[in-house]
Amino acid sequence: MPITPETEGAVAGLETALPEISSSGSVPPATPDKRRSACMARRGQVGTIAVSGKWYVVRFWRYPVGANRIHASERICPVCGEGSLSKGERRRRANEIVAASGVNDAQQFVETTNGVTFREQMSWFLDHAMNRKREPVKPATLFSWQNCANKWLNPNLGDIPLAAVNNATVKTLVAKMHEAGLSAKTITTYIGLVKLVVASALDKNGEQLFPRKWNHEFIDLPVVGHQHQPVFTSEIVGKILQRAEGQERVLFALLAGTGLRAGETLGLESKHVADDCRTVTVEQSCWQGDIQTPKTKNAYRQVDLSPDLANLLRAFITNRQSGLLFANKAGRPLSQTNLLRRSLHPILNELGVEKAGFHAMRRFRTTWLRKQRAPEDLIKFWLGHSETSITDSYSKVAQDVEFRKQVAEKVGTGFDVPSYQAKPLRPMRRRKTEERTLSVAA
């Protein structure tokens, strides 16, 4: 019997009625279709041609991101009259429609069928970044990432499927950050974390599941311009040391005279100081009271001191053979936060200088070394910065200890190194910077 438009319509109607027959009980019910998402066997769709009213249509499955699959239908041509097509031409046109829909695209299939949300991937990423064997992130970095996720990323992107996090999604997030008054640097850092999370989703071959070509112009990502980077002058450093007392005076002098990071200085032990106190070895750091490895592989280094700074350190250490150089009464590392709030910031307030952290002393040391024309590769070595060229890797100045000491003595510290006056260790208390008076209106 030849197939006519009428017979095709009857067949389509019969297929539509079959579920009703099965549910009546006269025919054993078929296994219900429990599938809510795509399966690998159905990735190569060609579509089914059927008649819908006066049109031939092709029916196939679509898989919207983050939703159940839907049965789509697209018109091919009229059943009869002008514009009608032969059977072969209808099949060819149906194939074109299905191909144009993208349902057979391998990458689109992965993105539409992966139900992982941004929040779930963020949780996995943070855990993996901390526990991986290759360059695990430091606790300080992880702490910053977790705060960023809790305050910004998860509230705005957490419930969105990871596959749907793209330029348009991030553009909306950047707009919200702009409205909240976040700085350009902060926004750039937070969006960088979004990129890392999306890129961390991999298949079994280690390929990215959701490769993205991020468009900063479209996202309207701000350009990081002038950053606030406070730095102390030689005069300010000298006044800070005059007002500091006890071990705080030695600590501040060591920070300004060596360029050590605050965590590296608080992690120093007696064993890290040479017998002549002219060299300290950095092989550990301190963060929130916990001893850990230094920030980077270049942070493992030796830093040379000028003779006057070495004398101050020697008077401070005396005969100690073990333990932390700077510790509280319980022998635990000092808190950076407490040092800032209870010592450095009150001193700066007395001097009328804007608030700054310990990194201002590191910037002071870097500036002073360059003013004194110290060798650039030696500056990088003392500061724990990475090499930037092949020539830097060829230079072995850092291995010449005597030369390093000569340069350290020649460049000096840039400030008058005070003497050390021992004081009994006590919990640091907030310095009183002004008399508070209570006035009552008459």
pLDDT at residue 237, as a whole number: 97
Burial track 317-341 (b if 16+ CB lie within 10 A, e otherwise): eeeeeeebbbebeeeebbbbeebbe
Distance between CA atoms of 195 and 212, rounded to whole angstroms?
9
In this structure, how many other beta carbons lie within 10 angstroms of the beta carbon of residue 130? 14
pLDDT at residue 390, as a whole number: 85
Distance between CA atoms of 251 and 255, rounded to whole angstroms?
6
From 412, 299, 420, select the one nearest 364 (Cα to Cα): 412
Instruction: Match 């005279």 to its residue by tokens.
Output: 257
Could you read off the pLDDT of 168-177 as tens digits, one per residue?
999 999 999 9
Does residue 6 carry a pLDDT above 80?
A: no
pLDDT at residue 380, as a whole number: 94
pLDDT at residue 101, as a whole number: 81
Instruction: Match 């579920």 to its residue by tokens.
Output: 19
pLDDT at residue 56, as a whole number: 93
Model confidence band, residue 25 (pLDDT cutoffs 50, 70, 90): very low
From 375, 372, 394, 393, select the one nearest 383 (Cα to Cα): 375
Query: Rounded to two decimals, what is the model's pTM?
Result: 0.68
234-411, which class in CATH? mainly alpha
What is the rounded average pLDDT of the residues 336-355? 96
Which of 87-101, 148-162, 188-202, 204-218 shows the lowest per-residue confidence on average (mean pLDDT)? Answer: 87-101
pLDDT at residue 45, as a whole number: 81
Average pLDDT, the chain: 85
From 236, 268, 274, 233, select the one nearest 250 (Cα to Cα): 268
Which of 301-305, 398-402, 432-436 shows the lowest per-residue confidence on average (mean pLDDT)? Answer: 432-436
pLDDT at residue 434, as a whole number: 44
Q: Which residues contact 427 (CB under 8 A, 6 or more apart)?
A: 328, 329
pLDDT at residue 422, as a whole number: 65
Model confidence band, residue 40 (pLDDT cutoffs 50, 70, 90): very low
Distance between CA atoms of 29 and 24, rounded to whole angstroms?
9
Distances in whole angstroms, Cα of residue 124 to Cα of each of 128, 131, 226: 6, 11, 35
Percent of the chain scored above 90 by pLDDT?
62
Model confidence band, residue 394 (pLDDT cutoffs 50, 70, 90): confident
By the 10 Å C-beta count (0-12 exposed, 13-18 middle, 19+ buried), 53 is classed as exposed
What is the rounded average pLDDT of the residues 204-226? 91
pLDDT at residue 441, as a whole number: 40
Percent of the chain scored above 70 by pLDDT?
82
Does residue 346 carry a pLDDT above 90?
A: yes
Tokens in use for 290? Answer: 């916990």
Model confidence band, residue 114 (pLDDT cutoffs 50, 70, 90): low
In sign, the C-alpha dihedral spanning 362, 363, 367, 370 is positive
Which of 172-181, 369-378, 381-390 shows the lowest per-residue confidence on average (mean pLDDT)? Answer: 381-390
Question: Which is higher by pLDDT, 71 or 271?
Answer: 271
272, 352 in Cβ contact below 8 A? no
Could you read off the pLDDT of 308-317 as tens digits, one per residue?
999 999 999 9
Model confidence band, residue 105 (pLDDT cutoffs 50, 70, 90): low
Does residue 426 carry a pLDDT above 90?
A: no
pLDDT at residue 43, as a whole number: 53
Half-sphere exposure (CA, 13 Å, Cβ side) for 132?
13
Model confidence band, residue 66 (pLDDT cutoffs 50, 70, 90): low
Q: Give the three-state DSSP class for 86.
A: coil
pLDDT at residue 67, as a whole number: 65
Give the number of residues written for the chain: 442
H/E stretch holding 194 reads: helix 184-199
Distance between CA atoms of 369 and 70, rounded to whole angstroms?
68
What is the rounded average pLDDT of the residues 356-367? 96
Model confidence band, residue 112 (pLDDT cutoffs 50, 70, 90): low
Residue extents of the structural domains in the chain = 5-26+37-111, 118-219, 234-411
For domain 118-219, the CATH architecture is: Orthogonal Bundle (1.10)
52, β-bridge pairs = 55
From 233, 393, 392, 410, select the one nearest 304 (Cα to Cα): 410
Question: Which is higher by pLDDT, 225 or 375?
Answer: 375
364, 414 in Cβ contact below 8 A? yes
From 382, 218, 419, select the one nearest 302 (Cα to Cα): 382
57, β-bridge pairs = 50, 75
From 163, 52, 38, select the one nearest 104 (Cα to Cα): 38
Does residue 109 carry a pLDDT above 90?
A: no
Tokens in use for 167? Answer: 């330029």
pLDDT at residue 107, as a whole number: 57
Model confidence band, residue 388 (pLDDT cutoffs 50, 70, 90): confident
pLDDT at residue 18, as a whole number: 40
By the 10 Å C-beta count (0-12 exposed, 13-18 middle, 19+ buried), 367 is classed as middle
pLDDT at residue 100, as a whole number: 84
Q: Which residues contact 367 (CB under 8 A, 6 or more apart)?
A: 231
